[in-house]
Amino acid sequence: MTTPDAHNGQLDDDRPSVKGPADDGEPIDGPEMNGGHETDDSGDGDGVEGTHAPEVESVVSNGHGDKNGVDEAHALPEDAEEEEGEADGESEEDEEDEEDEDGEEEDEEPTLKYETMKTPAFDFLQKEAISSVYASTEFLVFGTHNGVVHIIDHQGNNIKAYRSHSATISSIDVDYENQFIATASVDGKVIIHSLHTPENYSFDLRRPMRTVALEPGFAHKSGRQFICGGMAGNLVLYDKGWMGHKGQILHSGEGPIWETSWMGNLIAWANDLGVKIFDTASHSRIGFIDRAADSPRADLFKCNLRWRDEHTLLIGWAGHLKVARVRQRPNLPPGAPPLMIEITSHFALDYMVAGIASYENSYLMLSYIPPDTYTEEETEDRERQRRKAALPPELNLISRSGEQESSDVLAVSGYGAYGCNDYALAPSIKEKDPFFVVMSPKSVIVARPRDRSDHVDWLVEKRRYAEALEEVEKMGGSREWDVISVGEKFIESLVDEGQFGKAAQLCPKVCGDNAKAWEDWIFIFVQKGQLMAIVPFIPTQHPQLSHVVYEMVLAHYLSNNRDALLHTIRTWPHGIYDSSAVIVAVQGELERQPNSPILMECLAELFIQNHQPGRALPYLLRLRKPNVIDLIREHNLFTAVRDQVLLLVEFDQDLEQQRREKEGETSTSPPTSKHSAAIALLVAHTDSIPIGRVVQQLETRPQFLYLYLDALFDRDPLLTSDFADRQVQLYAEFDHKRLMDFLRASNYYSLERAYRICKERDFVPEQVFLLGRMGNNKAALNLIIERLGDVKRAIDFAKEQNDEELWEDLLRYSETRPAFIRGLLENVGAEINPVRLIRRIRNGLEVPGLKAALIKILQDFNLQISLLQGTQAIMFSDCTDLARRLQSGQTSGAFCSATMLCPVCDLPLFVAPAPSAEPEELALSFLCGHIVHARHVKGADSLPPQPPNIVRGFLGSQARARDRVGAKLAYASLVRARLEDGCPVCHRSDEGDGELV
């Protein structure tokens, strides 16, 4: 490669030449290698140098049923062509099999979404056709075949339109600051238009121009550099100086310049032979990438150059994609460019590249499927020369390894008449919201990366509602879908598929608080005959549905599942349905099946919920429900149960018996308990449940009547006074042990009738007691002696009656019975003198244990005497001590003060008199401790005058030596004799009479 001429600013003629392997800058046609041997197709003197990455060539499916496989490298040695043909035959069969398998696979989600721009700003397409496009960070620029430039923002609003050329605009470029727009046209002109200033440039090169590129940072650099090229075959670099722009030819002589691209210090361009790269920093051409040997004419399919970054160039030309990497040349030889090019990837495609861009870690290509081959251009067959209708363009995404990730057919109107050069792909360089503009002469399609909302749209479109619903829940809603809308689609799909269970499970999530949505879906399930599937999920509150819905469910249960009906009535809140209507329906069924427990229980629950517990009580009693007693207490149903007493007691006693059996009580235990809940309820509410009414109902069940009357008697014996005779009979029949207690406690039964009952049943102790109460003590004692033979009981009976004749009878009876004598001796006490008993013993009568009994009597009397003596000594000592304390308390003085008040009149008791004042008022002190004025004591009016200085002497404040104690005592005796009553304070409080001092 030659360096630019420093004098004329042009490069020397650079023609292709063949270099041997030993030449520096060995030319390589892309990365085409085979077995380590490199082939030279172009022979250009300036080639790609450096280490080459392994070539990856793949054929990407076009979406129209064409082959999808991997082609062999097109630059193979001649001796390998036969093997290539055999391999191709085998690969075609494999591709067909893979194609069939792919058709069965589920569609993959597209990577991009598409939108055709149809705003009013694009109305110009009705009269004009687009020839070129550029997408900047702020707007889109379109050039038309009429030479008009249209500037439109990203939202589709028109910004500006101006005519810059008289013919087709072939290329557009915008500086990074979006201030200048450069256009090249086949009219031979290059126009640079400023959007915000009057700084415009126009260059007439007099030959059709194909491409133009502005220098990076064009708006901020004074040089205002740009390059352009066209059919003249010259690549010209323009630089602004003092005299205006001056052109410098960087390259010429290899055919028209079809495309240019400027990134940083690197300028890439394409001509008929291939692609070259120029380094503006070193002002040298650093390499050449030639076209493939089987490529069609350069003008038939335009070259697409796109810098992925400052060092990587994407080249899409005809059916090939090459990725070139610019890097530093290692071991830089003298005179060689500092940079070199290596081809990192080369893909052979089964379509033509109409546009190329970089998308994340992949390559995005606008593909064109040619309608015919271009190898038959010289044929004389007119039909074969006739242009065939083209297929619609596609947007293909290819990974860096050559695998096709997605392929989307674009809906372009009039595509059949368009060629490859009629399309263009312009990527936006926005970082946050990247997009791609696909241009055709009469339409503009914007492709954007699909976001999560688009993912939801696609899932819904593919009827993958479960995934869509999960995604919407994570997002909290998308642009077009939310949980409700996606959920409804999902439910509809499940219902159509007959999966009613899953559909019902979704309803709470989808319908939420929307009552109308709930009702609509419930009726759909009813129409499908699947009401049972959704019933477990029907809400009863938040939201509350129409009562018709709930009644419909209950009616369904009444006909098909009565256990579920009962469960639903218990669990559903009261008030969400018409209880009266449901009661009528259940009663109708109960009339047809009068002994149905489940229907009775349903009715009881409905009556309770409808605040009619009294109507529920008969059913609960028939069902023997354990909570009946609690229900009666809770709702005060005592008047309602007054006619259901027998049923209530029977049911309650059954429960008690079950409880006892469960607890494992022995069979000898009483079978029933008087303290059962029903009996306690009847006893506690005699005001609401009359006793007579209860007795009347329980007469047929004497055992229950006994329990009731016994519990009633325990509460108040007076309550059973009218039924005392009946109660004696019941005690005798059901609880003999308690009969004696009743006979002793009650005074309302007939003694004769009770005696007759006891005599019939041979209850001797009870007969003894009754005979005693009837006054027939002798008969009673005879029963004890004759029937019981119980000496102690006979003695106790005699003690109770306290009748001397009974003692005489008992002694007389015991005269001939040694056992009775001994018993009397052992149990005799203060009631009978032992001497009297001993004297009644006949001489010669042998009494077993007589000696021991006598010894015991003597010991008891000795002990009694000792106790009496000890008690007497203790009492004498206590009396002496108390008398001493009383005397000490009465003879001791009382503490008085000048501020002491009279407890009767609340006036001071002692006041020091003035010399001329009247004598001091007399104060009296009683043994109880009270000191009062004498005038408050009855009889004080007849007291003699008080001797002088008595009170003062008493106080000790003015006592004289000549006062004598005798005078005081004499006056005190006189006062005591005259007073009629004691202490007035004690009399007033009823605490007893006091004694005068």
Rg (CA), the chain: 65
Give, in order, the Cα–Cα distances in Å from 1 to each of 4, 22, 290, 425. Answer: 10, 16, 15, 33
For residue 254, which of 224, 279, 285 has the smallest C-alpha distance? Answer: 285
Interatomic CA distance for residues 470 and 456, integer angstroms: 9
Structure confidence at residue 51 (pLDDT): 36
Render pLDDT for 695-705 as a digit per residue (tens, 0 to 9). 998 888 888 88
- Using CB atoms within 10 Å of the CB of residue 835, give its burial: 0 to 12 exposed, 13 to 18 middle, 19+ buried: exposed
Residue 259: pLDDT above 90?
A: yes
Lowest mean pLDDT among 108-112, 216-220, 583-587, 917-921: 917-921
Residue 240: pLDDT above 60?
A: yes
Render pLDDT for 509-548 as a digit per residue (tens, 0 to 9). 888 888 999 999 999 999 988 888 998 899 988 899 999 9
Residues 737-773 as b/e (b if ≥16 CB within 10 A, e otherwise) read eebbebbeebeebebeebbebbeeeebebbbbbbbbb
pLDDT (average), residues 724-749: 88
Q: In this predicted model, which residue has the larger pLDDT, 568 or 482? A: 568
What is the Cβ-side half-sphere exposure of residue 480, based on CA atoms within 13 angstroms? 12
pLDDT (average), residues 397-409: 89
Pairing type for strands 266-270 and 274-279 reads antiparallel
Structure confidence at residue 262 (pLDDT): 93
Contacts of 143 (CB under 8 A, 6+ apart): 130, 131, 132, 133, 149, 150, 165, 168, 169, 170, 171, 172, 183, 185
Render pLDDT for 426-468 as a digit per residue (tens, 0 to 9). 998 776 778 999 999 999 999 998 888 888 888 888 888 888 8
* Helices 677-684 + 645-663 axis angle, to 10: 140
Contacts of 520 (CB under 8 A, 6+ apart): none
Q: Cβ(151)–Cβ(134) under 8 Å?
A: no
Give 149's strand partners.
143, 162
* Helices 677-684 + 702-715 axis angle, to 10: 50
Residue 300: pLDDT above 70?
A: yes
Structure confidence at residue 472 (pLDDT): 84
Element (H, E) at 361: none
Interatomic CA distance for residues 676 and 651, integer angstroms: 11
Average pLDDT value for the chain = 78
Domain spans, the chain: 894-996
pLDDT class of 827 with cuts at 50, 70, 90: low
Torsion of the alpha carbons at 643, 649, 651 and 652, rounded to the nearest 10: 130
Render pLDDT for 969-992 as a digit per residue (tens, 0 to 9). 788 788 878 787 788 888 777 554
Render pLDDT for 98-125 as a digit per residue (tens, 0 to 9). 555 444 445 778 888 899 999 999 999 9
Share of the chain above pLDDT 90, in %: 24
Structure confidence at residue 817 (pLDDT): 66
Residue 915: pLDDT above 90?
A: no
Residue 31: pLDDT above 70?
A: no
Q: In this predicted model, which residue has the larger pLDDT, 490 or 62? A: 490
Share of the chain above pLDDT 70, in %: 76
Q: Cβ(278)–Cβ(284) under 8 Å?
A: yes
What is the Cβ-side half-sphere exposure of residue 529, based on CA atoms within 13 angstroms? 1
Q: Cβ(393)–Cβ(354) under 8 Å?
A: yes
Interatomic CA distance for residues 142 and 148, integer angstroms: 8
Pairing type for strands 226-230 and 235-241 reads antiparallel
Structure confidence at residue 832 (pLDDT): 62
Interatomic CA distance for residues 887 and 885, integer angstroms: 5
pLDDT (average), residues 640-662: 79
Residue 60: pLDDT above 70?
A: no
Interatomic CA distance for residues 902 and 996, integer angstroms: 16
Residue 964: pLDDT above 80?
A: no
